[in-house]
Amino acid sequence: MKKTHPSLISLQAGRWFKLIGGASYQHLPAIRNLALAYTLAGADCIDVAADPAVVSAVKESFHVVSQLPQISKGAEFPAHRTSSELPLLMVSFSDGEDPHFRKAEFDPTRCPPDCSRPCEAICPAAAIAFTADTAGVIAERCYGCGRCLPVCPIQQIETVTRATAVEAIAATLLEQVDAIEIHTQVGRYDEFMSLWMVLQPHLHHLSVVSISCPEQAGVIDYLWQLYEGIQPLPLPLIWQTDGRPMSGDIGRGTTHATLRYARRMLQSGPPGYVQLAGGTNAHTAEKFQTLAREMSPVSATDVAAWPLTAAALHSTLGGVAFGSFARRLLSSVLAEWSTEPLFASAVHLEERPSCHDSDSLASSLLSLQQAVQLAASLVAPIKGAAGNASPWPSDQAGDRANVLATPAEPRL
């Protein structure tokens, strides 16, 4: 990966946008569609599970992007990207128990016949169903948010962590991606370094390393310890300030936790690019820009002159990652398909992108345009285009209402 890759330039300029697909989310049609829409909207990074099938699904969406100029009938998209300008593809690992890597489980035969099934109603991923074909948790859809756990009337829902055997997949998987993220928690230095020793020989294939840690007592000191432990690091380093994990679609107040955490990191954290995550939503962009003005220790011109590796000797604001909110934002479009075909009949089957099945956005130009428009409403403000585009397209007002239908939370 060239150091001048557009995504790395965005990181250095504080305009980095990352889509979090979910470290345990494995619903391939949704992953393909989300990656396709956010790539065309201008995302800099797509972060997904360390699963070869999931990585392949994202690469299929990238192939669609490469074919669009020939098959989209002149349709315009916010980002027309060549093969050298595609988002960085990132996979996530964990050094121990982590909510991002868990899935819900329960025995549906134990459910009372008269149960109102609040678990099914509250699941943001539609991962719980009671039908003739499916009863219980649909594992590939579950991304571990845990919202079903407290609402079960008989408290039978549990979670299980399905750890990836890193040693078994690192050699082949890391050759197919551009970046890695390691999830850790305060007090797991030895576990982190053990995982780092497995990943370190493969760093020469990568362009970015990210470390994600929730805000806990002693977190700044712990991250400094990690920073010293991984030196020398010849790659840009991102600190993901995971304020309130997997909560961005709940209400506007969830974004305040990651903003507070990011401010702490910028004030006293180790060198690297600080990236907001955990509770990010439609209200994050404005607050992100305010934070950038308040906390930037140097001018944007000076930052641009720094080497990408280690962000000089400073902690600087790099961008924002969106997960549950970004996925929910597109849910209405992904659920409804138009019959308008994307592919002209003159395009031979073997020349079409691989995402041409009925579950793919690539089967409908209208649906693809709608999805990209919605995705761009989230990407554009972070990329610095807020003054040129409405954060919410006027013809998508209904989608805005659906996404923000939950009551606003009190300010944290």
Secondary structure (3-state) at 26: coil
- Between the ranges 37-46, 153-162, 166-175, 344-353, where is the mean pLDDT highest? 37-46
CA–CA gap between residue 219 and residue 269 (Å, rounded): 9
Mean pLDDT confidence for 393-397: 34
Q: Tens of pLDDT along 252-274?
A: 889 999 999 999 999 999 999 99
Residue from 50, 34, 24 nearest 87 by CA:
34
Of 320 and 75, which is predicted with more confidence? 320
The pLDDT of residue 179 is: 97
Residues with Cβ within 8 Å of 5's Cβ and at least 6 positions away in sequence, in order, are 84, 85, 88, 207
Residue 310, by phi and psi: left (phi above 0), alpha (psi -120 to 50) or beta?
Answer: left
Of 348 and 271, which is predicted with more confidence? 271
Instruction: List domains and CATH numbers for the chain.
Output: 6-96+170-327 (3.20.20.70), 99-161 (3.30.70.20)
The pLDDT of residue 100 is: 83
Query: Given CA atoms 311, 39, 378, 138 in this order, what sign does their dihedral have?
Result: negative
The pTM assigned to this predicted structure is 0.84
Residue from 326, 341, 404 nearest 371 by CA:
326
Tell whether the model's pLDDT for residue 297 goes beyond 70: no
The pLDDT of residue 407 is: 32
Residue found under tokens 């960085």: 88
- Tell me which DSSP letter residue 126 carries: -
Pull the structure tokens for residue 149.
């756990």
Tell whether the model's pLDDT for residue 303 goes beyond 50: yes
Tell whether the model's pLDDT for residue 351 goes beyond 80: no
Q: Tens of pLDDT along 93-122?
A: 999 988 888 889 999 999 999 999 999 999
Mean pLDDT confidence for 146-155: 94
Q: Tens of pLDDT along 16-53?
A: 999 999 988 988 989 999 999 999 999 999 999 999 99
Tell whether the model's pLDDT for residue 73 goes beyond 60: yes
Of 241 and 169, which is predicted with more confidence? 241
Residue 379's alpha-carbon distances to 168, 262, 326, in angstroms, are 35, 19, 10
- Tell me which DSSP letter residue 212 carries: E
Contact 357, 312 (CB under 8 A): no
Secondary structure (3-state) at 258: helix
Mean pLDDT confidence for 192-196: 97
DSSP notation for 302-369? HHHHS-TGGGTTSEEEEEEEE-HHHHHHTHHHHH---S--SS-TTS-GGGS-S--STTSGGG-HHHHH
Residue 165, by phi and psi: left (phi above 0), alpha (psi -120 to 50) or beta?
Answer: beta
What torsion, rounded to 10 degrees, do the Cα atoms 17, 21, 22, 28 define?
-170
Which H or E run includes 42? Answer: none
CA–CA gap between residue 329 and residue 326 (Å, rounded): 5
Residue found under tokens 């003005």: 293
Phi, psi of 181 (to 5 degrees): -130, 135
Tell whether the model's pLDDT for residue 350 goes beyond 50: no
CA–CA gap between residue 363 and residue 359 (Å, rounded): 8
The pLDDT of residue 280 is: 95
Tell whether the model's pLDDT for residue 385 goes beyond 50: no
Q: pLDDT band at residue 71, thresholds of 50, 70 and 90?
A: low
Tell whether the model's pLDDT for residue 307 goes beyond 50: yes
CA–CA gap between residue 92 and residue 262 (Å, rounded): 20
CA–CA gap between residue 58 and residue 228 (Å, rounded): 33
The pLDDT of residue 365 is: 82
